[in-house]
Amino acid sequence: MTNQYYFDHAASAPRRDEVADAMQRWQHGVVGNPSGSHRAAREARRAVEEARDEIAAFVGAKPGGVIFTGGGTESCHLAVAGVASHHRRHHQTTSIVVSRIEHHAVLDAVELMARDYPNVSVHYVDVDSDGVLDLESLAGALDGDTAVVSVMCANNETGVLQPLDGVSALVRERPAGILTHSDAVAAAPWLDLAEATAGVDMVSICAHKIGGPVNSGALILRSDVAIDAVVPGGGQERGRRGGTVDVAAAVGLATAARLTAIERCEVAARVARYQQELFAALGAMAGCAITAPGTARLPGTVHVTFEGLASDELLFLLDQAGVCAAAASSCSSGAAVASHVLAAMGMAPERARGSLRLSMGAETTQEDVDALIVIMASVVERLRAEA
């Protein structure tokens, strides 16, 4: 059996034992519906509310602003579609402003709103060649119709940090009423979100990028946000997200968040060293270009391109050697496809074809990194020899 070297934390981080343990209690036998009034319900409700407190602390918001969801995609969708839906019921026209490098959770949600409602339009904000939001382009996109601005905290493909302070400052210069949302799913393992998203009205997170379960996330409202439920259901979560709250999922999210916050500084410092080692080693390989070199990014993400090589082939040989990695951009069939993020950065399609994202996390070790460097060298050498 080949050793496994897991370099796809950005797709899904390893599930933490403590998370599984904490969830265990809520996955067997009687688990009350938190909306009920008997003792089992009260017990469940208490666990949900404790989890809510922890999530609020994790993001630096009030517990009342935490909406538990079925994951990052739902959180992002609720934020942009929920605000746009409310806005369009009270205004003639509604404009949604998003960066071109948002996750499809945001992009597809806003496209849907524009498709379904003639008074809703979407404006896309450019990024520079390093994948950083262009604040001038943002300024030009804001107007009196703007309901919500969505800019991710850090990009999930490149790891490049976005100027959220600049976004908040620009929005504050405008007449009140424009809400901001930040998809912090990719940033959550690495940044203190209370600080990094301080000026943002809505923050999306999910559990499985920080060692929690999938299908668990939250949208956190930092202020009094006028938002429509996308799924009103039975009025749970203060009418903002219908459906019985999943106690185990909420507990799992909260446990993962707590552990992440405790170890964040140590992990970030250690993994940042790995990142530098990888950039140095990969950057020295023939035809390898580091994406957005020198740009501030998450410590866990290494995004590179190999000239003349195809992601498909790199991933195949890496997989054969036990390395789990990603091209970071795939369509619903699972095939690697041209990335909208790299396209927005102006990267030539031929270069983008050789994309590789190696993403790390708390569990990554020096041995993993050393092994990866050796394997990468042999894979690239082999593909170059055969090409």
| Residue 332 DSSP class | T
User: Binder to another protein among 336, 345, 358, 380 (CB under 8 A)?
Assistant: 336
Q: Does 286 bind another protein (CB under 8 A)?
A: no
Nearer to another protein, 108 or 192 (CB): 108
Q: Does 335 bind another protein (CB under 8 A)?
A: yes
Of the residues 206, 265, 324, 331, only one is catalytic, namely 331
Instruction: Give the H or E element holding residue 172.
Output: helix 164-173
The residue count for binding another protein (CB under 8 A) is 20
Q: CB neighbours (10 Å) of residue 37?
A: 9
Nearer to another protein, 5 or 274 (CB): 5
Please choose, out of 19-27, 113-121, 229-237, 306-314, the segment that lies near another protein by the rule CB under 8 A.
306-314
The C-alpha angle 240, 242, 244, rounded to 5 degrees, equals 130
Q: Does 334 bind another protein (CB under 8 A)?
A: yes
Nearer to another protein, 296 or 335 (CB): 335
Q: Does 387 bind another protein (CB under 8 A)?
A: yes
Q: Does 386 bind another protein (CB under 8 A)?
A: yes
Backbone angles phi, psi at 275, to 5 degrees: -60, -45
Strands (E), 141-276: 146-150, 179-183, 202-206, 217-221
Cβ proximity of 178 and 147 under 8 Å = yes
Nearer to another protein, 269 or 335 (CB): 335
Instruction: Give the H or E element holding residue 21.
Output: helix 17-24
Those residues with Cβ within 8 angstroms of residue 53's Cβ, 6 or more apart along the chain or in another chain:
63
Is there a catalytic annotation at residue 331? yes
User: Binder to another protein among 46, 307, 316, 366 (CB under 8 A)?
Assistant: 316
Q: Does 349 bind another protein (CB under 8 A)?
A: yes
Q: Does 263 bind another protein (CB under 8 A)?
A: no
x/- map, 142-161, another protein, by CB under 8 A: --------------------
For the CB of residue 311, give the shortest distance to another protein in the complex, in Å.
8
For the CB of residue 58, give the shortest distance to another protein in the complex, in Å.
36
Q: CB neighbours (10 Å) of residue 269?
A: 10
Question: What is the C-alpha to C-alpha distance for residues 352 and 323, in angstroms, rounded to an integer?
Answer: 21
Q: Does 352 bind another protein (CB under 8 A)?
A: no
DSSP 104-159: HHHHHHHHHHHHH-TTEEEEEEPB-TTS-B-HHHHHHH--TTEEEEE--SB-TTT-
**Residue ranges that bind another protein, judged by CB under 8 A:** 310, 312-313, 315-317, 319-320, 331-337, 349, 382-383, 386-387
Which residues are part of the catalytic machinery? 331
